Structure 1
Amino acid sequence: MGKWTRRAFIGAGVLTGGALVVGVAVRPGNPVDELKGTLAKGEGEELINSWVKIGTDNVVTAIVPHAEMGQGAHTALAQMLADELDADWDKVEIMEAPGIGKFVSADIGREFLAPTLEVPAILEPTVQGSFLKLAQAMNLQITGGSFSIRGTGQRGMRTAGAAAREMLMASAADEWDVPVSEIRTEKSMLIHDKSGKSEPYATFAAAAAEQSLPAKPKLKNPKDFKLMGKPIARKDIPPKVDGSAIFGVDADIPDMKYAAVKAAPVVGATADSIDAATARAMPGVLQILNMGDFVAVIADGYWQAQQALNSVQTKWSATEGDSLDQDAIFARYTAALDDAGTDGGDVETEEGDTGNAFASADIQLEAEYKAPFLAHATMEPMNCTAWLRDGKCDVWTGTQSPLGARSTIADTLGIDMENVTLHNAFLGGGFGRRSEEDAIVMAVRLTKAAGYPVKVIFSREEDTQQDFYRPSAMSRFKAGLDKDGKAVSWDNIHTHLFDPADAPTVPYYNIANHRIRKIDVPMHLRFGPWRSVDHSQQSYFIESFVDEMAHAANKDPYEYRRELLAGSPRHLAVLDGVAEMSDWGRELPEKHGRGIAFVPSFGTIVAEVAEIDMSGPKPRVTKVFCCADPGYAMNPDGFAAQMESSIIYGLTAALYGEISVKNGAVQQSNFHNYKMLRIDESPEIAVKIINGDAKRLGGAGEPGLPPLAPAVTNAVFAATGKRLRELPLAKHKFA
């Protein structure tokens, strides 16, 4: 990899078009002269590895290498950079970084692989450079896993802002001939109190560009934060309210045509033949294409294309999955679990002698749980606009993985990545769905076949039936309790484990003997990341079974968890926090219930209490209390909004969410049979934030979801005595 220097970590400060640009993690061999040519202002500006720019108007532009899909990452990341820079927030602008290799998510890789690694400043460039090269090799420029703030923000944005501030202070000290220690910064101004001198950052942009770059600039202590930790309004909200925000579906290219698509209803099938006679006679229809794995109609307008596609009769080839239905899929899981028996499967974690501890336990419990396939149901349907011309391809879309998408586009078309330009837009919901590239691949294949720009838009039916689903799963538990109800044995075997590895584990619970195993079972449906990934199933399984243990021990579920968390004060603070919020133990009306669940995930500790009303024709969740410790909430309003969002998303799934299969194909097609939570069904939600460790940040986008389902089903048990071991609630009948 060559020799790494101090300059390698922070990168290059250059003056171009009157703006100071500071990059992060620029590898040696990228000289400043090369960078200058790519940093011109105006449309198509390509900023290589620069995360902060200071213009002659003293406007600070934060270059954010993550997608904005409603989670507030753009604002929070810019907030972290601006605070370290002591920038005037009213004059901070945000720009999403382009999908190029210099903006890979090296800090996310480091947070994932070596979250606690600290090295001396002299070694920092080498270490960071290693993660940079790894991320580049993987085309890892991703928004997901609740990593943006705790990865890029904590290690990247703060570092870039602090570095720029030190460079500006050094420049002012040289010009004013004063010690740098006497200069302070405030709201994008450099100030020397003794002489009364003050100048805006822009005055010293050129001089700062010549400064040596600190390998490890000093970051602020939380007590000195001015923007971090404050409930600052998101900058993406006003344009979304006034309609000026641009989403992928808003792309409008000269001479663009529209495509409606229909993929094979059973994965792996191809279109043997099509009858498009009716469609060809319809107005506005330009082309009808059999692309093998999907059929497309291209027309002057989307509605024309979709109506024509609806009239196309397609004969699809037979597949091995044609005979599968929902019962057959779960029968596979059951058979695999049965075959694994007491010792089969892959051991994920084991401590103590689980078998003997269970056999000698005074109380023995066994239970089996099921969770269904789930779709993402983003409000903006999947879409992509592509234009291939002169060996180059431009793509307009909203993706969680712009660099990975560029690589896929290049491979699909057989061209170099340098000839692919991806214009990323706001995402109308992601939840993991927009890390997939099926719509993008369809669009680039169609523009190649058609010879003009094509916008692909999935119908809601196509969006529902061609998703990359949250996998269904089954889990079996055995637990042994002593005569006092204390847990002495925990044995769990479950189907599948995709991400993250810790989802089925319970290291925070004090159980001396425990073993967790998994088995892999083939699935014919496509699957992919879904908000909180495997925590969404595993936490429902785990926290429901812990509730069963509490009742078997004849103990209060909250108090029982307190015993399991003995010796973990930070965990106990969250559990106690939600109990206090919800006034746990307060008497509820008849046919009402209260349930609790506790799940640390994505670096954030969360406990939730749900209250449910079972007196009506269907269950109604009335209140949800959420206490969370993310280490430090960089934007408390934004963090609370993500907890609320996760709760609503999780409640939708718990009450209604189910993708079922018949004859190999997904049965659900739209919101009439894949229901969403309606506004009149939304519970009252209260969120409490505990800042437990500012040095170790947790995520926000996903950890609020895992406790929700078990809190609700535990509440159902409290109200009715009925234990729900399969989701959703809509599958069950209540007296």
Structure 2
Amino acid sequence: MSNHVSGPDLSRRRFLQASAIIGGGLVVNLSLGSAFSALAATDFAPNAFIRIDTKGLVTLVLPQVEMGQGIYTAQAMLLAEELDVALDKVVLEHAPANAALYGNPLIGSQLTGGSTSIRAFWTPLRTAGATARTLLVQAAASEWKVDAATLTTKDGAVLDAAGKTLAYGDLVDLAATLPVPAPEAVLLKQPDQFKLLGKATKRLDTPAKVNGTQKYGIDAMPEGVKIAAIAISPVLGGKPKTVDRDAALAVKGVRQVVLTASAVAVVADHTGAAKKGLEAAAIEWEDGPNAAVSSAAIIKHLEEESQKPGAVARNDGDVEQALASAATRLEAVYQLPFLAHTTMEPMNCTLHVRKDGCDMWVGTQVVGSAQAAAASLTGLSPDTIKIHNHIIGGGFGRRLEVDGIMHAVEVAMQVEGPVKVIWSREEDIQHGYYRPYYYDRLSAGLDAQGKPVAWTHRVSGSSIFARIAPPVMASGVDPDGVDGAKETPYAFPNMRVEFRQVEPQGVMTSWWRGVGPSHNVFVVESFIDELAAIAKVDPVEYRKGLLTENPRALKVLELVAEKAGWGTPLGERQGRGVSVQFAFGSYLAMVLEATVADDGTVKVNRIVAAVDCGMTVNPDTVVAQTEGGALYGLTAGLYGAITFADGRVEQSNFDNYLPLRIDEAPHVETHLVASAEAPGGMGEAATSAVFPALTNAIFAATGHRIRTLPVNAEDLKKA
């Protein structure tokens, strides 16, 4: 086995577990945590595994969930490449809830997120395919009574030197009786042998999305299902005070009004009746202790706390002495707002809670946590709760939380038969777990040549890990909160990074499409641009001078500058901005070209990205994720901000929480760097890169430096 094709540092022996016959065919089981062993067919308990039937059809059970990032295709390609089968011979099944068997090995739980789906399963899925291929070759060798080394595989069949073939379907029963080969006998392909990996491939899930047959969680319709519209207390911690049940029940089609500790749901025969009934219920709320929460108070608290020392995440050299002796010193404060997720598929969950168990139809990034939440609320044993996981119509981290599922369970426990609980867009935006508000203080010292000799960065904001995994916060540093700040593409001789945990009253915070990097890359790359301006050096050339020891970052920067035409003339109030990052295991540089109108509105004309994400599985997916991530981030950079008054979120729908309109969407051009490195993640990378590229372009066009997002057109009006 060559180290050249190894992925994450995970032993292949841990992934080879067993082969067995189940109803005729070959099963290769992947164990992400248990020791190597052979299992009988009767007690076969897979983690992620492949199944090949006697017709040669390959089934891949995926521990990850598709939410638009293209992993159905990419992970199937990993398997098909090593198995030597056509991609159309692979069908997919969602893995059931079982954290011990299906845990993401890079995260340690059954979770889809963090741009890890390829990074985590690059080795396991290829090893599974190669193991199955080895067993099938050995079966053919036994059948033909020849040396297995003389045989090859192609398109779902084993071939001998004379061209004679045996289809996989004809070999699976015999292969299943053979001993699992030792890890050293399972040879993964070298990159120059790849037939699928690295080749642009049409996505397997596209046809169903185009023709409308794709079923999302919101499409689940078990027999007899009723529809529930829900209203949740507009203030965190509030509860229903008065509800006009009679008025709600008077609406034709309304069957039931359900109250929980913090919400009211109206159950009806169809969505229209449920929504009308909820409106008729005329709910009054008791706001509770967070009724006075406001954005102004939250920001004031952050500003005060940010002046105090934080827990030290990194401390190199002597920052104070370097700052004191610097030829030039610069300080800055950056702020980033709360952000909602606004997935196209609103929060929803369909449940049938019975005395002996529960069925749940949902799209979730954390199927195990969904099962555990239902078990906790119902008192049922987890093994009686069946999760029917679905492809997701947008996650972005929102479906890493199970609050929507918990609301649905609380409603379903009071309803006879299955019930589908659907949030309106207003409920979705006003009851989110938001990307934290960050308040960052930076200082830097430059020598006489304009190069940084000292760098300090204090991040102040909410800690997601303090809520979901308190032991991670033992040192006081939230690792996600400093992701992109603790390690930058640049090397500073004296550097200190701190994290100060500041929790906002009355607000729940959580993952977004790249939490730490989505804020820290903006701060770091904006401040680097400020240093370049002080040094009177072109922003690209300034970065090049700081990246001499980081060849991969330097390469993407040089490539993007070339492809974007950096330095070529632009019109009045037009500018280009640049950013460089290493995030989610990938290097990405971006140049954004923008025009600022006299009234302060910003038109982004073009985005160019250069990407080194290691070896690519499907280049089309990398391009698509770069495009989608850039536009998602651009929406937030131009418009995104969740604000509070009287304890309530002030935004409610897309009229006041604006998405980027189609006529505002720029062309996004992506260039890939050929790389032999292990794969990195791409789902969140471009979202982080676009913020500083945008604001640096605005500075180049107007001379106005933006340190607080989103962009404020009033500040950019031509005098």
Give the TM-score taking structure 1 as reference length.
Answer: 0.91
State the partner residue of 1:449: 414
What is the Cα deviation at residue 692 of structure 1? 2.5
State the partner residue of 1:200: 167
- Which whole-Å deviations, capped at 9, do the CAs of 1:524-561 have from their partners, x for residues lacking one? 21111100111111111111111000000000000111
* Contact 1:570–1:692 (8 Å) recurs in 2: no
What is the Cα deviation at residue 564 of structure 1? 1.0
Taking a change above 3 Å as real, the CA distance of residues 8 and 222 of structure 1, as seen in their structure-2 partners, is closer
State the partner residue of 1:331: 300
* Alpha-carbon distance in structure 1 between the residues aligned to 2:526 and 2:157: 55
State the partner residue of 2:27: 21
State the partner residue of 1:728: 710
* Contact 1:274–1:290 (8 Å) recurs in 2: no
* Alpha-carbon distance in structure 1 between the residues aligned to 2:75 and 2:297: 46
Identity %: 39
Taking a change above 3 Å as real, the CA distance of residues 623 and 51 of structure 1, as seen in their structure-2 partners, is same
* Alpha-carbon distance in structure 1 between the residues aligned to 2:374 and 2:355: 15
* Contact 1:107–1:156 (8 Å) recurs in 2: no
State the partner residue of 1:635: 618
Query: Are 1:404 and 2:369 matched, yes or no?
Result: yes
* Alpha-carbon distance in structure 1 between the residues aligned to 2:98 and 2:255: 35
Taking a change above 3 Å as real, the CA distance of residues 30 and 446 of structure 1, as seen in their structure-2 partners, is farther
Q: Which amino acid aligns with 2:133?
A: R
State the partner residue of 1:42: none
What secondary structure, in the 3-state scheme, does the structure 1 residue paired with 2:428 have? helix
State the partner residue of 1:122: none
* Alpha-carbon distance in structure 1 between the residues aligned to 2:529 and 2:577: 9
- Residue of structure 2 aligned with 1:68, choices 57, 60, 66: 66
* Contact 1:384–1:395 (8 Å) recurs in 2: yes
* Alpha-carbon distance in structure 2 between the residues aligned to 1:232 and 1:495: 43
State the partner residue of 1:321: 290
Residues 100-249 of structure 1 aligned to structure 2 (within 5 Å): 100-101=98-99, 103-109=101-107, 135=108, 140-152=109-121, 154-194=122-162, 196-216=163-183, 217-249=186-218
What secondary structure, in the 3-state scheme, does the structure 1 residue paired with 2:299 have? helix
Query: Are 1:509 and 2:490 matched, yes or no?
Result: yes
* Alpha-carbon distance in structure 1 between the residues aligned to 2:181 and 2:119: 22
Taking a change above 3 Å as real, the CA distance of residues 293 and 215 of structure 1, as seen in their structure-2 partners, is farther
State the partner residue of 1:431: 396
* Contact 1:282–1:308 (8 Å) recurs in 2: yes
What secondary structure, in the 3-state scheme, does the structure 2 residue paired with 1:289 have? strand
What secondary structure, in the 3-state scheme, does the structure 2 residue paired with 1:415 have? coil
* Alpha-carbon distance in structure 1 between the residues aligned to 2:305 and 2:434: 21
- Residue of structure 2 aligned with 1:532, choices 514, 517, 529: 514
What is the Cα deviation at residue 98 of structure 1? 2.2
- Residue of structure 1 aligned with 2:39, choices 32, 35, 56: 32
* Contact 2:31–2:101 (8 Å) recurs in 1: no
What is the Cα deviation at residue 141 of structure 1? 1.1
Query: Are 1:362 and 2:327 matched, yes or no?
Result: yes
* Contact 1:6–1:213 (8 Å) recurs in 2: no
Name the count of aligned residue pairs.
686
- Pick which of 94-103 and 521-530 moved more: 94-103
What is the Cα deviation at residue 37 of structure 1? 6.9
Taking a change above 3 Å as real, the CA distance of residues 233 and 142 of structure 1, as seen in their structure-2 partners, is same
- Which whole-Å deviations, capped at 9, do the CAs of 1:500-525 have from their partners, x for residues lacking one? 35332244312101101111112121
What is the Cα deviation at residue 58 of structure 1? 1.2
What is the Cα deviation at residue 7 of structure 1? 8.1
Residues 644-683 of structure 1 aligned to structure 2 (within 5 Å): 644-683=627-666
* Contact 1:657–1:674 (8 Å) recurs in 2: yes
Q: Which amino acid aligns with 2:253?
A: G
* Alpha-carbon distance in structure 2 between the residues aligned to 1:632 and 1:608: 20
- Which whole-Å deviations, capped at 9, do the CAs of 1:630-649 have from their partners, x for residues lacking one? 01111000111001110010
Query: Are 1:593 and 2:575 matched, yes or no?
Result: yes
What is the Cα deviation at residue 170 of structure 1? 1.2
* Alpha-carbon distance in structure 2 between the residues aligned to 1:583 and 1:208: 57
* Alpha-carbon distance in structure 1 between the residues aligned to 2:88 and 2:47: 24
Q: Which amino acid aligns with 2:28?
A: V
* Alpha-carbon distance in structure 2 between the residues aligned to 1:306 and 1:610: 43
Taking a change above 3 Å as real, the CA distance of residues 351 and 711 of structure 1, as seen in their structure-2 partners, is same
Q: Which amino acid aligns with 1:516?
A: V
- Pick which of 419-428 and 201-210 moved more: 201-210
* Alpha-carbon distance in structure 1 between the residues aligned to 2:541 and 2:28: 52
Taking a change above 3 Å as real, the CA distance of residues 559 and 311 of structure 1, as seen in their structure-2 partners, is same
- Which whole-Å deviations, capped at 9, do the CAs of 1:291-331 have from their partners, x for residues lacking one? 11111111111121112112323333343321121111100
Q: Which amino acid aligns with 1:150?
A: R
State the partner residue of 1:395: 360
* Alpha-carbon distance in structure 1 between the residues aligned to 2:196 and 2:651: 45
* Alpha-carbon distance in structure 2 between the residues aligned to 1:441 and 1:475: 34
Taking a change above 3 Å as real, the CA distance of residues 507 and 608 of structure 1, as seen in their structure-2 partners, is closer
* Alpha-carbon distance in structure 2 between the residues aligned to 1:103 and 1:644: 34
* Contact 1:406–1:421 (8 Å) recurs in 2: yes
Q: Which amino acid aligns with 1:104?
A: Y
Taking a change above 3 Å as real, the CA distance of residues 215 and 644 of structure 1, as seen in their structure-2 partners, is farther
* Alpha-carbon distance in structure 2 between the residues aligned to 1:11 and 1:280: 57
* Contact 2:12–2:123 (8 Å) recurs in 1: no
What is the Cα deviation at residue 86 of structure 1? 0.9
What secondary structure, in the 3-state scheme, does the structure 2 residue paired with 1:534 have? helix
Q: Which amino acid aligns with 1:180?
A: A
* Alpha-carbon distance in structure 2 between the residues aligned to 1:589 and 1:697: 39
Taking a change above 3 Å as real, the CA distance of residues 227 and 328 of structure 1, as seen in their structure-2 partners, is same
What is the Cα deviation at residue 199 of structure 1? 0.7
* Contact 2:488–2:582 (8 Å) recurs in 1: no
* Alpha-carbon distance in structure 1 between the residues aligned to 2:116 and 2:146: 41
Taking a change above 3 Å as real, the CA distance of residues 298 and 571 of structure 1, as seen in their structure-2 partners, is same
What is the Cα deviation at residue 202 of structure 1? 1.2
Q: Which amino acid aligns with 1:193?
A: A
- Which whole-Å deviations, capped at 9, do the CAs of 1:231-290 have from their partners, x for residues lacking one? 111100001111111000001111111111111111111223323342222111111122
* Alpha-carbon distance in structure 2 between the residues aligned to 1:226 and 1:438: 43
Q: Which amino acid aligns with 1:269?
A: G
Structure 2 unaligned segments of length 5 or more: list them.
1-10, 465-478
* Alpha-carbon distance in structure 1 between the residues aligned to 2:12 and 2:117: 25
What is the Cα deviation at residue 478 of structure 1? 0.6
Taking a change above 3 Å as real, the CA distance of residues 169 and 30 of structure 1, as seen in their structure-2 partners, is closer
* Contact 1:107–1:155 (8 Å) recurs in 2: no
What is the Cα deviation at residue 15 of structure 1? 1.9
Q: Which amino acid aligns with 2:453?
A: V
* Alpha-carbon distance in structure 2 between the residues aligned to 1:476 and 1:62: 48
* Alpha-carbon distance in structure 2 between the residues aligned to 1:299 and 1:408: 25
RMSD: 1.8
Taking a change above 3 Å as real, the CA distance of residues 483 and 233 of structure 1, as seen in their structure-2 partners, is same
Off by >3 Å, runs of 4+ in structure 1: 5-9, 26-33, 35-38, 730-733
State the partner residue of 2:694: 712
* Contact 2:60–2:91 (8 Å) recurs in 1: yes
Query: Are 1:576 and 2:558 matched, yes or no?
Result: yes
State the partner residue of 1:477: 442
Residues 553-632 of structure 1 aligned to structure 2 (within 5 Å): 553-615=535-597, 617=599, 618-632=601-615
Taking a change above 3 Å as real, the CA distance of residues 85 and 249 of structure 1, as seen in their structure-2 partners, is same
* Alpha-carbon distance in structure 2 between the residues aligned to 1:541 and 1:6: 39
